[in-house]
Structure 1
Amino acid sequence: MSTWLLTGGAGYIGSHVLAALRAAGHDAVVLDDLSTGLTSRLPDDVELLRHDLLEPGLPDVLTDLTRRRDVDGVVHLAAKKSVPESVAVPLDYYEHNVGGTVAMLRAAATAGIGRFVYSSSAAVYGETSAEPVAEEHPTLPTSPYGETKLAGEWAVRRYAEAEGLVWTALRYFNVAGSASAALADRGATNLLPLVMRAVDTGRPVQVFGDDWPTPDGTCLRDYVHVEDLAEAHVAAAAALLEGRSPGALNVGRNEGTSVLEVIRAVEEARGRPVPYEIVARRPGDPARVVADASRIATVLGWRASRGIAAMAG
């Protein structure tokens, strides 16, 4: 059994990764500042280290942990993740996402931890007419959020080249769904929880533009179920334990779904209409981003198995 330090493990995605690691027979310690994470998402027998990545003392926290437990690697999810917020306060995103990743790399090195799974994003590709988007596609992010995730990849890759770190970066496409109500996404920016909230409150969800170059005029994204995504982390951890460094890998379903199609899926799952309103386009949004997920299937043996209906249910 291996043990992984999971940053951001009390968050929406992190709590699912934690559950998947444990289900696969691994152990995990969570490091989270609880700025957005919830202790209610963590099982009682999981150790929680409450610490901000940018606060002093992170190397000491990890060194103390490795004295007490045999830590095999880091799964680094902790980051800010809102595209519109990143446009409004870009320096906050550079400080937390890039600075936090560098701080974690330094602390892991001090503690002698040599494996690193980095949480990246399809936002690194930016606006593109390619469909699907493969990993070798140019990375030209259109938002500070995407820039910071790409800069984090660069930092991990360059550090690995210099120091022999075994690593991978998982480029998430649009994450949705949940394993249970307790682990559900409670964020205010992701589409699916916003659509669910519109059903429950009767207040319309905003659709940012209906004049995009897509079949129905709304933005097209590749949605991946969070449980599938969590299983991709387990596959990545297994590869690193074998000494392999897969590099950057897309995590998606090879299938695009528009905003209006997501709304229709929720209407079908809930049996109720979803109120929505068309508003102006949102700065930093590309029209369409759909994954070519063939490389992760070849390298890690991972494929998504859950569709949009499971995410909307």
Structure 2
Amino acid sequence: MGTTAAVPQVAHRFVEVDGVRVFYRETGPVDAPTVLLLHGFPSASHQFRRLLDVLGNDFHLIAPDYPGFGHTEVPAGFTYSFDRLADVVEQFVDAVGLDRYVLYTFDFGGPVGLRLAERRPAAVAGLIVQNANAYAEGLSDLARDFTTLTPDVPGAREKAAELLVLPVTRGQYEGGTVDPTLVAPDGWTLDQHFLDLPGRKDAQVDLALNYHTNVALYPRWQRWLADHRPATLIIWGRNDIFFPESGAHAYLADLPDAELHILDTGHFALEDRLPEIAPLIADFLTRTWNRPEAGRNPDGPGRRGGVRSVGGRGAASLG
């Protein structure tokens, strides 16, 4: 009989930052390459539970729940905006002693993580981008409609609340997958449990009506990427109803050396494509953790390259 690899211990903890009791999951040796896992909507750190089990023996993985998500507890009167989510995550990394990490950005983790990267560029050892958009061409028509919802638009709160029901939550997991039987019901069931807690729908609607601030920041984030050129692994489910495949390729204008893998799945790619994604992440971390600081854009600060890679590490790998 073959030997079975030990399953890592995953700790489940709270830390208080600025009155917010942040829940987080942590596993792996603290002196190993560190990944700060930033979840998306409408999920929380539980979306990374299987990844923690697979990679936790060799890498230090830490995944917080944002305010308004998962098990994190907020004080009365907390203001929900993407700036505030980034504030809390920034204070969280200080509270748990992270000074260098690879950022895993997924969905909402994109705007939260890029705000954090702007504030602390020296802490970013690399980027793992999984269906986290930062480009206008990466928005589907459905997503574009979503970004027009602002507090001054009549009926906007009611329209945003339409996203918070069980069929939509489930559809985000199973939509775009080749085989929905590979998607465990645990994720979308737990997401809906949290969405249905008192006050959570109001928090999510507030964030929905604040999403337009992320689109306004796309040019600034693109300049940051072009200027800093972090080592980057892009993994993208091509059948995402919010962020189509074009959003993945758009990164190559600013990160021509990025490694890009397009998979035939939907938004929550980890749910059904973990066996392919986990080795890509492990290889990326092993190759890049001790990499010297990324070079600056040879074209000069703030200038985006005009040629996208069509071969080598920039080429799409079809799953």
- Same fold by TM-score greater than 0.5: no
Question: What's the TM-score once normalised by structure 2's chain length?
Answer: 0.38
TM-score (norm 1): 0.38
